[in-house]
Structure 1
């Protein structure tokens, strides 16, 4: 019976040792879970913060692109109007030159002799 008692005591000792190892592994795993949950929380906060920043940048970009399009339209319209002014100025210059030549041609021709 002492052999059975010794075996039982050995089994008991090994069982306690196994339970302690399991508890130790569980505690380590629990520590890792807590660390990863903290990392997850930080990442979720970062994602939320970055999402908010992205929304603000998108809104700002949208406003700036609309303003740039307005500038483009104003520039295009102004250039077109300026080209019309240039064309009108050139036409006016040509008319004035032609009139000046016509007027100048009449006054530089000698007057017909008097009879």
Structure 2
């Protein structure tokens, strides 16, 4: 398995490098990332649980390590995290089901065009 803490530190260093080369890109990302905290509708733990589930669905290891750490920091239990990850699993399965329906639709269109 990955050394998640080391990976996070290395990743943040590389993102710092990107910030030096393209400061507007990183500043834009930071503004976007912080926008949700300004509304106050969700607490930090809930936002991090959502972020972790989305990180799984987008298959982003960097997002996983950052948001796993933040979820723990904001008091998320392993059980809460597992439940949020269960939502990610269901959504990925649901997306595969929807795209399976689309694939069958494409097959039918090709068969009709023969």
TM-score where L is the length of structure 2: 0.33
Q: Larger relative CO (CA 8 A, sep 6+): 1 or 2?
A: 2
TM-score where L is the length of structure 1: 0.32
Quick check: which one's helix share is greater? 1
